[in-house]
Amino acid sequence: MVFLLSMIGAFWWCLSTALFAVTLACGLMQPVLQRRRATRADLPPVSALVPIKHLDPGFERAQASIFIQDYPAYEVLISAVEEDSPALDAARRVAGAHPERPCRILRSAAQIAVSPKLNNLAAPFGEARNDFVFTKDSNMTLAPDVMAAFMRSFSKGVGLVVAVPVAVRPQSFAGRIEAILLNGHARLLLAASVLGLGYGVGKVMLFRRSDLAKAGGLEAVGHMLAEDTAISMALARQGLRTVFSHRTVAQEIGARSLREVYERQARWSVIRRANEKISFPLEPLASPLPAALAGALAGPLIGLPASLCFGASLAGWFCAEILFTALKGWEISAWAPLAFLGREILALAAWLRAWTTHDVVWGEGRFDARRGARDV
């Protein structure tokens, strides 16, 4: 029995380590390869849709970034469910500081979808003057060339362009846990991009209203909580691919509590379990903590103590991640070792939690991730 466990551990460790090495290499290659794939030459007019609700960390910085895009022709449509809020006040200040950019602020009171975000997008989606729509979450800060880079990637056969979000400016220990968790996920998405895979990542998206209309419009994707996945799937049924831009986007983290980080990760774990039937059960293969435990089980096969194999596996993974982070130019904190350990515990807890419930709490609502139905 001990020998069998050691063999299983060795197999898991080898598979997990090989996957890790591949994602590291692909993550470094992605910007070069995707830039070569971005072959579109023209820059047609765009409607930028920005749904807002809370006054998130870095809100005004993130809002201002949509007004300073190096792009020839685009309008900005900001939407909120509320008639007035601190976020709307801040959005008005930012828009007022950029009078050169056409901007409208709309109230979106639609109830066409399960996703609160999609309901918030309904009004600007209907009011947009251009076929191309570029959506941005309120906590995403864009470099001036991002919109143009997205359009370059909108080549023949593409229906949706998304970006890999990278965490910036965490201001608490829990925020640093979320940052290193998000950036670990970013590495996996970059690797998927190199392999030609595309997923609906809704932080920043570019697509055509006419393409979505052929798929049934917003109503056709309103049944899923993960509206980005729903849009990607709807466009795929039209024969259109989802691709990642070569430009990453910055996600403002700010100060978070451990409870906030856990609840957010648990929510998305439940949603991923509902929508990603094959990849979700395999997620622990991409995690260093299970790999280190597998290494500990495999230790006797090579005559090494389990504790040494566990520690060496975990430390080696951490050092490789930090080197990767440094090469990518992402933020590194002196708290990184503790944040790394915290990430592993929190992510595994959220993954395990997803197997025990289909309940999702989002804002003030409670939803069932399987049916996408409101719990009334």
Name, in order, each residue with C-beta under 8 angstroms of 69's C-beta and a sequence gap of 6 or more: 48, 142, 144, 145, 146, 147, 148
The band of 83, judged by pLDDT with boundaries at 50, 70 and 90, is confident
| 109-118, 130-139, 216-225: which is most confident | 130-139
Round to whole Å and give the CA distance between 329 and 350. Answer: 28
Task: Give 149-194 pLDDT, tens digit per residue.
Answer: 999 999 999 999 999 999 999 999 999 999 999 999 999 999 999 9
Give the model's pLDDT for residue 374.
Answer: 46
Please report, for the chain, the start and end positions of each structural domain, with discontinuous segments joined by +: 1-376
Task: Give 141-157 pLDDT, tens digit per residue.
Answer: 999 999 999 999 999 99
Name, in order, each residue with C-beta under 8 angstroms of 50's C-beta and a sequence gap of 6 or more: 63, 66, 76, 77, 78, 79, 91, 124, 135, 136, 138
Give the model's pLDDT for residue 227.
Answer: 87
The first and second tokens of residue 364, run together, are 């003030």
Is it the case that residue 128 has pLDDT exceeding 50?
yes
Which range is least confidently modeled, 29-33, 195-199, 205-209, 275-279?
Answer: 275-279
Percentage of the chain modeled with pLDDT above 70 = 97
CATH fold for domain 1-376: Spore Coat Polysaccharide Biosynthesis Protein SpsA; Chain A (3.90.550)
The band of 274, judged by pLDDT with boundaries at 50, 70 and 90, is confident
**Amino acid at position 26, single letter:** C
Is it the case that residue 32 has pLDDT exceeding 50?
yes
Round to whole Å and give the CA distance between 340 and 345. Answer: 9
